[in-house]
Amino acid sequence: MKRGTSIFIALGVYFSADVCLLRAQTEQSIGFTQSIKPILANKCFACHGPDQQKAGLRLDEAESAYRTLESGDRAIVPHQAEASLVVDRIFTDDPEALMPPPEKDNPLSAAEKDLLRKWIDQGAGYEEHWAHKPPRRPESPVVQSKEWSRTAIDLHVLANMEHEGLQPSPEADPYVLLRRVYLDLIGLPPTPDQIEQYIQDPRPNRYEHLVNELLMSPAYGERWARHWLDLARFADTNGYEKDRYRSIWPFRDWVINALNEGMPFDEFSIKQLAGDMLPNATEADRVATGFHRNTMMNEEGGIDIEEFRFESIVDRVNTTGTTWMGLAMGCAQCHGHKFDPVSHTEYWQLFAIFNNADEPEIDLHDPVIADQRAQIQSKIQQLTKSLKNQFPNQPGDQEEAIGTQFAEGQYYQQRFDQWLESAVGRAVGWTVLKPGSLHSKFHATLTTLPDQSVLASGDKPNRDIYTIELTCDLPFITGFRLEALAHPSLPDGGPGRAHFFQTGDFLLSEFIVETPDDQGGWVRHAFDKATDSHHKDKHEASKSLDGLLDTGWQIGGRTGEDHQAVFALKEAIQRDGEPIRVRITLDQSFIHQVTIGRFRLSATGDDRPEASGMPADVEALLAGGAKEWEATDMALLEGQFHREASELEGAREEIITLRRKLPSFPTTMVMLERKPEHTRTTFRRHRGEFLKPREEVGPGVPDMFHDWPEGRPVNRLTFARWLFEPGNPLTARVVMNRTWQAFFGKGIVTTPEDFGLQGAMPSQPDVLDWLAVEFEQSGWDMKHMHRLIVNSATYRQSSKLSEALLEKDPENRWLARGPRFRVDAETVRDIALHASGLLEQTIGGPSVFPPQPAGVGDLAYGGPGYKESEGADRYRRGLYTYWKRAVPYPGFMTFDAPNPERTCARRIRSNTPLQALTLLNDEVYVEAASSLAKRLLNDQALSDEERVGEAWMRLVGHPVSSAARQQILNYLQGEAVKLSQAPETVKQLTGVKQVTDATVRLAAWTLTCRVLLNLDEVITKS
Amino acid sequence: MKKLEGKPLPKSIVGEQRFAFIEPDAGVLGPQFSFARYGQSQAELSEILPHLGEMVDEISIIKSVNTDQFNHAPAQIFLNTGSPLSGRPAMGAWATYGLGSESADLPGFVVLKSAGGISGGAANWSSGFLPSVHAGVPFRSKGDPILNVSSPHGVDRSIQERSIGLINALNEQTLADWKDPEIQTRIDNYEMAYRMQSSAPELMDLSGETEATMNMYGAEPGKESFANNCLLARRLVERGVRFIQLYHEGWDHHSNVVGGLKSQCKQTDQASAALLRDLKQRGLLEDTLVVWGGEFGRTAMVESNATLGRVNGRDHHPAAFTMWMAGGGIRKGQTLGETDELGYHVVKDPVHVHDLQATILHCLGLDHLRLTFRFKGRDFRLTDIHGNVVEKLLA
């Protein structure tokens, strides 16, 4: 009820404008889409629409609206307003009967009532929402200015312009057009050489040639990747409180490469949505799925991991809706969409499609690193083999050596035999237990590997309890061994699953063993003691027997290795005929996901079971007895001797050092569809809330869309392909609209994120449809579309405004002039760096840390963690700047870079004093000014006049006017005079210790370049 | 609470409440401080808030605030934006969007911070989908109060003036040539930037404050402290800044709640009371709304954890906690709301975070139902689809 009020207020303005427009059209037929639907949507659909049908009435479809109601009345009788109940109810004086009900505080205006009546009298014609009908290539219109058009786009734009009584602007000045197309296609301004080359190019189609060149430039991919990264909500940190670093830059590289290669947009999309599910998916295909791994992750201590996984899937559904469907899916999370035909259940069907993936991090097998690793590993192997040779021939201890002379190898043999004897004594005979049933309380996926160890994957809950039931053939059991084993899929190699705070570790709160009693219950067995091969300080295995859930066995400090704990029973479990049935519980009730990633269970009947500290295979050999040892067994035993012998401590050190030097592969975050047997169940959530699951919902797509391909499995991959099936009314339009927006500043639909009933109507539907059809028919060729647009006469127009044009079309809706607007945040900085010669044009790689004002990071929880890059990395393009969600790079935020917390289809473009302060005073721009000044002065052949021209050309891209040049020279000379009297200022501006005429000039030029860097034209695409 | 010391709470009280760290059956930790009644209103306050005790007749204490969130970042973002997920506009952004700013040379929404970093980060003062000009601007106590408000080394005020003079003169030519109104806005912004460069240091310069004032707040020039920020807040109010937020981190006493609270109150009690007193004596309090509180409360139960090294702490408690409000439009000298004897559940006059937000907007002259912004096909509000103005809080 109250929401109705707010809707009315916000839209009051809208309507009066619409109604005026209609009055001007006098008695023309009333269009449903333009005039009637907005009224119904805002005043009626909330109760009589797709979500609710009070009194059985639904007004958003003709069939339902014309139907005879339960009351016997008909709400709408076409051509008979007086017979239509709707007309009765909106004109009545009776407050009980009046619609909309007065308490909704959302009344119809007199004009709106009239419109509804007339519309019914005219036949009450319904039209499908424009965006739900597939686009058709519009027929070429007839235009008056036959010469103007260069492309089919232009014909449509021109026809619309002429219809509005407008004329196109002349083509932009070549300098202006050149800078415009550079900024649009590669995001950098042209250099003076490039400008000169273009202006001197005699070919009549020099512009088209240039466009082709720019489309092939590697900077093209960087430019257009930045647009895409807004949608992908790309950032370098996890968000929320901890906001730690994550490695997902390989996804950014993938996007840049794909765009540069000209990957068709359908393939580009399918790989990002479901690359992991493609047959024979490559590493690159998997990297592409990083798109939906850019959701935030909450790592606060006390959270429910599943709740935030749930939130990330909500985000994936909504982001998919925005990016490919132009659909405000978020509305249907809590209830049926009030305006668009997406029901509450349909939302959860889409959710189910995205709810079936695991979210691992994968190594990228960079060949350079693989090679480095192979070299080190072969060295390690050599060293390991040579350990025996390094064994001393005599004891080191002098007393022991007295009187004994050892033959070659004799001392080694003696020590080995001694060791073997003690090792056999330590060894316990273990029987590996084969898990019968496996259960994880919080839905981790537990899989038994061939060696009977159990690997955890999939969901990674904050805490967990594993329950393993099994049978054991031993006659009696005196103790159990739990091996916690390393595995490459685990963070830091495991054995734990924790991926932060205590990476690779686990905490085993309690180790519980039970056997069945007579009543069908379980009886718990007491332990005598626990021993372990290794433990973190104060976290011995015995802490897993103390009954306290906040203490337990941990192995911190030695991740990536195998460990074991042995739990000796107080009283042996006796076999009573049948094999012994055992239930083992690994209670891991701590927080922070410190659960075990891989483990194996064994049992023994040995009388004093203890942890030997030896690998299981070695211990098994030793326990099995000497007679069965073969040469390979002996090698294994010798290997263990080499690992333990104190004589080899120094020799082993080298191996350990080498191991530490093994370079890691870069990693990235991906999606991985779960196996069919691990399919997740999705529930509709009442009011969209995590804590209110209702009935189970299977995967599916909303009915309103084109058909689902017959016989295909309902999963993410089919969904991704379905988006590109012919008949989809939205994808091509949505993408082309955003593309148009990138070039012209505004989309043809000004709400690029919402093509639904509440979104804006397209200003030029024929242009949008032409583009959409062309896009689809070109094989989803992005470069083709970009080429078409920048080659169009529409794009090439001058963006100069006249009073008349400003009056008639202030928003440039009809495109009777070219685009003129401030460039994006990253481009503001890229231009300054490029024009001043500082830009480092390396493509790809991890994010970099350019200078930012001191103290910015202080606002972050847990300290700044922003270490400024050294050298060339300070001057990389903006899209490589490290993006910390909680403390974003301020220079970009000031220029409206979007917060990557949510997908962004449209950047705001503000104009504020903080922007002026940034350009005037931020270190980046001061450095750029100084660099540019030095460059200008380095060329000693230039006069100051020429230097002004050169600076202007670099920054603004066209020859400087004589008036401007004179003003700049006056400033330069004025400052030079003042500076010659102010040596301290010169020192501060230039950083030099000795003031000379040359440094005074440098200081004056630095100030001058700083002024030029601040000009409107520098940061504006004209 | 004393009676139940060490014993778990009955399941009937705890219900399905989720906790961050403790188990629902943790024992009760009795009150750690004594309480006394202050002022004519006889409001009950802890012994470690003596200064607030002196101002208690100016404020409304709300003992019945409750939230939906039990972890820091989501709860802070919820309190500020009405949603636990980041991406929506903060209260201050809504306020400046609705009311504009009265300051020509300072931002309309200013964020001040003392002590450590803030869990929710920039999402707490984000403009969300509102134009970015409404985002909170963090002022720093060290370095430039506003990023880049100082000119670079060697650029003094006269150089800056001449430089901006030339920038604007050249931009005037561009304007004459292109007629784009954005150029005029940019020219105006360079002028405002120039003014900000002197108004910001002037704002931060406390040398004009009397010793009595400095002592009243416990402020020390040049120090990053809550006391300095309270004094700055008053100076910002005087300069027409619309919405000022002061963050003071460090209330997360999972361990040693006694030591932690003593230290936090020592840092904040005097200055909070001084801000009220100072605003009042300058006649500003009646037009200024002051709200004091955090994102949630703490449990009646004890938190201890050997591995985390925690003893005698309290966990997060979203179901009932206390805030106070004073000034513009707020009834003086009352205590609103009651909890059960354990401070566990609200039993009278509950004030949900959305109600609090609705009330704050109301006091600012805004109707939370009507202050909306159309985004992604929907009209959004600070209070989402909830919230009622708490009439009992109003004067």
Q: Which two tokens stand for residue A448?
A: 């038994």
How many residues does the structure list for chain B?
395
Q: What share of chain A is helix, strand, coil (3-state, %, to 5)?
A: 45, 10, 45
What is the end-to-end Cα distance of chain A in Å, rounded? 47
B11-147+229-393 CATH fold: Alkaline Phosphatase, subunit A (3.40.720)
- Chains A, B: CB contacts within 8 A come to 269
Q: Cβ contact (<8 Å) for B117 and A863?
A: yes
Q: Cβ contact (<8 Å) for A853 and B179?
A: no
Q: Cβ contact (<8 Å) for B170 and A863?
A: no
Q: Measured between beta carbons, which residues in chain A are less than 8 angstroms from residue B120? A: 240-241, 886
Low-confidence ranges of chain A (pLDDT < 70): 1-28, 397-404, 858-864
User: Please, are residues A593 and A498 in contact by the beta-carbon 8 Å criterion?
Assistant: yes
To the nearest whole Å, the CA of B381 is away from the closest chain A CA by 9
Which of B135, B189, B377 is closest, CB to CB, to A328?
A: B377
Distances A780 to A92, A274, A754 between C-alpha atoms, Å: 54, 18, 21
To the nearest whole Å, the CA of B212 is away from the closest chain A CA by 31
Q: At what angle do helices A174-185 and A192-200 cross, to 10 degrees?
A: 120
Q: Which residue of B has its CA nearest to A340?
A: B377
Task: Quote the pLDDT of residue A402.
Answer: 59
Which of A7, A241, A912 is closest, CB to CB, to B72?
A: A241
Q: Match 């009388």 to its residue by tokens.
A: A607
In sequence order, what are the residues at sequence separation of 6 or more whose Cβ sits closer than 8 angstroms to the Cβ of residue A846?
A247, A249, A666
Task: Quote the pLDDT of residue A864.
Answer: 58
Give the torsion through C-alpha atoms of B62, B67, B71, B72, to 10 deg: -50
Q: Which residue of B has its CA nearest to A1016?
A: B171
CA distance A427 to A623: 5
Q: Cβ contact (<8 Å) for A961 and B173?
A: yes
Residue among A880, A878, A889, A869 nearest A830 (CA): A878
Which of B74, B181, B379 is closest, CB to CB, to A6?
A: B379
The H-assigned helical ranges of B179-206 are: 181-204
Task: Quote the pLDDT of residue A15.
Answer: 30
Task: Quote the pLDDT of residue A1.
Answer: 27
Domain residue ranges in chain B: 11-147+229-393
Q: Cβ contact (<8 Å) for A6 and B372?
A: yes
Q: Measured between beta carbons, which residues in chain B are less than 8 angstroms from residue A853? A: 143-144, 147-148
Which of A240, A887, A921 is closest, CB to CB, to B152?
A: A921
| Interstrand relation of B137-138 and B109-114 (parallel, antiparallel or unpaired) | parallel
Which of B154, B190, B376 is closest, CB to CB, to A328?
A: B376
To the nearest whole Å, the CA of B116 is away from the closest chain A CA by 7
To the nearest whole Å, the CA of A582 is away from the closest chain B CA by 29
Instruction: DSSP letter for A726, please.
Output: T
pLDDT tens digits along B99-157:
998 888 888 999 998 877 777 878 899 888 887 788 888 887 667 788 899 999 999 99
User: Please, are residues A141 and A156 in contact by the beta-carbon 8 Å criterion?
Assistant: yes
Task: Quote the pLDDT of residue A400.
Answer: 58
The percent of residues in chain B predicted with pLDDT above 90, rounded, is 66
Q: Cβ contact (<8 Å) for A9 and B142?
A: no
Instruction: DSSP letter for A524, please.
Output: E
Q: Cβ contact (<8 Å) for A921 and B150?
A: yes
Q: Cβ contact (<8 Å) for B189 and A916?
A: yes
Q: Tell me if the bond preceding A709 is cis, omega within 30° of 0.
A: no
In sequence order, what are the residues at sequence separation of 6 or more whose Cβ sits closer than 8 angstroms to the Cβ of residue A667?
A247, A361, A362, A363, A364
Residue B143 amino acid letter: G
Q: Cβ contact (<8 Å) for A311 and B85?
A: yes
Q: Cβ contact (<8 Å) for B144 and A853?
A: yes
Exposure class string for A294-303: b at 16+ Cβ within 10 A, else e: bbbbbbbbbb
Q: Measured between beta carbons, which residues in chain B are less than 8 angstroms from residue A803? A: 179
To the nearest whole Å, the CA of B74 is away from the closest chain A CA by 8
Residue B97 has pLDDT above 90, yes or no: yes
The phi-psi region of residue A837 (left if phi > 0; otherwise alpha if psi is between -120 and 50; otherwise beta) is left
Q: Which CATH class is domain A428-613?
A: mainly beta
Task: Quote the pLDDT of residue A3.
Answer: 26
Q: Measured between beta carbons, which residues in chain A are less than 8 angstroms from residue B378? A: 328, 330-331, 758
Q: Cβ contact (<8 Å) for A920 and B142?
A: no
Which of A6, A548, A989 is closest, CB to CB, to B154?
A: A989
Of the residues A798, A914, A990, the best mutation for testing chain B's interface (the one with the most B CB atoms within 10 Å of its CB) is A914
Residue B318 has pLDDT above 50, yes or no: yes
Q: Cβ contact (<8 Å) for B153 and A856?
A: no
In chain B, how many H helices and how many E strands? 10, 16
The reported pTM is 0.87
Task: Report the mean per-residue pLDDT for chain B.
Answer: 91
Q: Measured between beta carbons, which residues in chain B are less than 8 angstroms from residue A859? A: 113, 117-118, 121-122, 138
User: Please, are residues B293 and B358 in contact by the beta-carbon 8 Å criterion?
Assistant: no
CA distance B57 to B76: 28
Task: Quote the pLDDT of residue A397.
Answer: 62
Q: Measured between beta carbons, which residues in chain B are less than 8 angstroms from residue A915? A: 189
ipTM above 0.90 for this complex = no
Q: Cβ contact (<8 Å) for A6 and B369?
A: yes
